[in-house]
Amino acid sequence: MAVRHNDKFGYCVNENSVLTFQFGGDSMADLEGRLFGRTPASLRTGHLVKVSGYNVLTRGVNDTEITDIRENIKSNRLLPEVIEKQVRIMYGLGLYVYRIEFDSDGKLVQRWVDCPPITEWLRSWNDCGITDDANDFALECIRRYYYFEDFFVKWRFFKGRAIGGLPVAGLELVENSRARLASEKELSPFGNYTYDDFTHVMVGDWRYRGDFSVYPLLRPQHIHRYDVAISHHANGDVDGIYGRNKAYDGSREWLLGANENPRFIRSFLRNSMAAKVHVIIPNEWVAAKRKQIQDLCEYNRKLKRENKEPVRYNGVEIGTDFHEGLLTQYTNIELERLTTYLSGADNQGKMFASFSFLGSKGEEVKWKIEQIDLKYKEYIESLISFDRRADEVLLSAKGIDPSISNVSKEGVISKSGSDAYYNYLLYLLQLPAPEKICCDAINMAVRANFPHLWRQGYMVGFYRPVPARQQEVSPDDRITSNQ
């Protein structure tokens, strides 16, 4: 019997059975973060599952992290377009070749150059049977980066590389929802493993655990050994193997709240009554209705003996035997009629009729409707205030200024040209690190196909022209003049 444990949790294996155990009262089954800091990091970021003989690392505790991120972001009214702006800004005019050089002042500069061998290879992907051309592939890499901060790439190789041809024909993106890191090694389920322990990538539909394809995880030093392989590119995570969208993690609760807010308002408008009221039903009315229903039940017994159809009372089938449920059913129908009258956009100006009667002491008995002040204005304003604050938090988490995103704190397009210009320049200064990850696969392929050019410093990146300030542009060429 093999027994292993890590801190408070452990497991033991005996032949074909596995027993898990724990020390103390904390529940290991609480996998959704309710234990917060006490939950092991491996449970928060993913865990190992056995699939077809491989140890596969899940994306998140329930292996739904990718779907959750995608659906929560796409459901937001703000973030999808903000991300698309980030994609367009990083992509610029597309892929071009450059070299990093020192200028005459000793400063590093990025020199964009014409390099026909690399350019012709990038343009040949479709001719080699690759679905997307190089620029479309690069766009999708950027988009996956801003959603998940990692992506998987399938490498297609030329068959003629053994006789001196180029090794890499082109690259294809593999959807994050379909790819998982896997290992043939026996790994500890408590997170005592590193990225280098994973040797393969398993691709398939993880919702139904059907058929899977297994590919070697590409290592640059072994690139000439593969017939087909998948590489993984990520913005590193301090306590995980996969990349993690830090902006999403930090603003998740605000994002979920912002997504739910419209439903709260719609539900309020759809279901609220014209005026929130408290309805007082007098006991005399209840007693009178009970007596009426009892009399009708007795009358129905008579009709039954005569083989006649029993009567109904206000739509209620009362039958021949009285019980309190008949009175409750009748009362509910009356309340539904009243609610229908008081609620809904189409019911304004309608009339509701009812009867009053005299009580045992000769006084008038009727239903009373008392209005309750639920402070509608404060409720709606609180939802709107949360919505505005959520927008600020989400934009701040994405690191994109309102003057660039075109959304200000009050939802008005920013009109300050100088703010937009300088904030745009500052934003561009943040892009080299994300661009390195997004272009990593293509530059690895450039290194494999053109090692002599790589040694000379040739690389591929996104060309982003920096707009000139309007006062530096001739009056005829300014944006305002052209408009």
**CA–CA dist 32, 19 (Å, integer):** 22
Instruction: For 91-148, give the DSSP string.
Output: HTT-EEEEEEEE-TTS-EEEEEE--HHHHHHHHTTGGGT-SS-HHHHHHHHHHHHHHH
Please write down the long-range contacts of 108-114, taking CB distance under 8 Å and 24 or more positions apart.
Answer: 110/461, 112/463, 113/458
Examine the pLDDT at 218 and tell me if it is beyond 60: yes
φ and ψ at residue 44, rounded to 5 degrees: -75, -35
Report yes or no: 121 and 127 within 8 Å, Cβ to Cβ: no
Q: Are 401 and 422 in contact (CB under 8 A)?
A: no
Tokens 């450059």, residue located = 98
**Beta-carbon contacts of residue 424 (< 8 Å; ≥ 6 apart):** 403, 404, 467
pLDDT score at 350: 53
Please state, in angstroms and as integers, the Cα–Cα distance from residue 52 to each residue in 79, 174, 182, 184, 209, following that order.
38, 20, 10, 10, 10
Rounded to two decimals, what is the model's pTM? 0.70
Question: What one-character DSSP code corresponds to residue 334?
Answer: H
Q: Which residue has the higher pLDDT, 349 or 290?
A: 290
Of 1-5, 361-365, 386-390, which gets the smallest average pLDDT?
1-5
Give the pair of three-digit tokens for residue 32. 């959704």
Work out the pLDDT band at 482, boundaries 50, 70, 90.
Answer: very low
CB-side exposure of 7: number of CA atoms within 13 Å?
Answer: 11
| In 246-282, alpha helices (H) | 246-271
Q: How far apart, in Å, are the Cα atoms of 161 and each of 121, 396, 446?
A: 14, 48, 14
Structure confidence by residue, pLDDT tens digits, 134-164? 999 999 999 999 999 999 999 999 886 655 6
The predicted model gives 242-256 an average pLDDT of 84
Q: Is 257 exposed, middle or buried (0-12, 13-18, 19+ CB in 10 A)?
A: middle
Q: For residues 213-221, give the mean pLDDT.
A: 93
Which residues make Cβ contacts (< 8 Å) with residue 199, sequence separation at least 6? 182, 183, 184, 185, 216, 217
Show Cβ contacts of residue 335 under 8 Å, excluding neighbours closer than 6 positions.
Answer: 279
Q: Is the pLDDT of residue 314 over 60?
A: yes
* Per-residue pLDDT at 34: 40
pLDDT over 80 (residue 294): yes
**Residue 208 contacts residue 184 (beta carbons within 8 Å):** no
pLDDT for 38 beyond 50: no
Rounded CA gap, 425 and 26, in Å?
50
Whether 473 has a pLDDT exceeding 60, the answer reads no
Q: Where are the domains of the chain?
A: 277-372
Q: For residue 203, with 0-12 CB atoms within 10 Å meaning exposed, 13-18 middle and 19 or more buried, which class applies? A: buried
In total, the chain counts a number of residues equal to 483
Average pLDDT over residues 190-207: 88
Answer yes or no: is pLDDT of 402 > 60.
Answer: yes
Read off the pLDDT band of 7 (50, 70, 90): low
- All residues at 6 or more sequence positions from 433 whose CB lies less than 8 Å from its CB, including other chains: none
> Which is higher by pLDDT, 402 or 292?
292
% pLDDT > 90, the chain: 31
pLDDT at 291: 87
Q: What is the mean pLDDT of residues 60-70?
A: 88
Directed axis angle between helix 134-148 and helix 79-91, to 10°? 140
- Give the residue with greater pLDDT, 168 vs 404: 168
- Is residue 208 over pLDDT 70? yes
pLDDT in the model for residue 321 = 87
Between the CA of residue 398 and those of 69, 142, 180, what are the distances in Å?
14, 14, 26
The token pair that represents 303 in the structure block: 């009709």
Rounded mean pLDDT of 259-263?
83
Cα separation, 256 vs 263, whole angstroms? 12
d(CA 270, CA 242): 43
Identify the pLDDT of residue 427. 86
Q: How far is CA 131 from CA 127, 128, 137, 154, 169, in A?
A: 9, 9, 9, 12, 12
Report the distance separating Cα 175 and Cα 107, nearest Å. Answer: 40
Single-letter amino acid code for the residue at 474:
S
Banded pLDDT at 224 (limits 50, 70, 90):
confident
**Which pLDDT score is estimated for 43?**
45
Is pLDDT above 50 for 26? no
- Please indicate whether residue 215 or residue 2 has the higher confidence score (pLDDT): 215
Quick one: tokens of 349?
């100006």
Q: Are strands 277-280 and 368-371 parallel, antiparallel or unpaired?
A: antiparallel
Find, among 157, 181, 176, the residue nearest to 168 by Cα.
157
5: closest CA among 21, 16, 17, 18?
A: 21
> Rounded to whole angstroms, how far apart are CA atoms 141 and 143?
5
pLDDT confidence band for 349 (50 / 70 / 90): very low
Q: Given pLDDT bands bounded at 50, 70 and 90, which one contains residue 477?
A: low
Are 118 and 479 a contacting pair, CB within 8 Å? no
Give the integer Cα–Cα distance in Å for 354 and 132.
71
**What average pLDDT does this structure show over 458-464?**
96
CA 343 remoteness from chain centre: 35
Check if the beta carbon of residue 431 is closer than 8 Å to that of residue 408.
Answer: no
Average pLDDT in the 279-288 region? 80
Q: How confident is the model at residue 89 (pLDDT cuts 50, 70, 90)?
A: very high
- Binning pLDDT at 50, 70 and 90, where does residue 326 land? confident
Q: What does the pLDDT look like over 364-387, one tens digit per residue?
A: 777 777 666 656 677 778 878 888
In percent, the amount of the chain with pLDDT more than 70 equals 75
Question: Residue 229 pLDDT more than 80?
Answer: yes
CA 224 to chain centre: 38
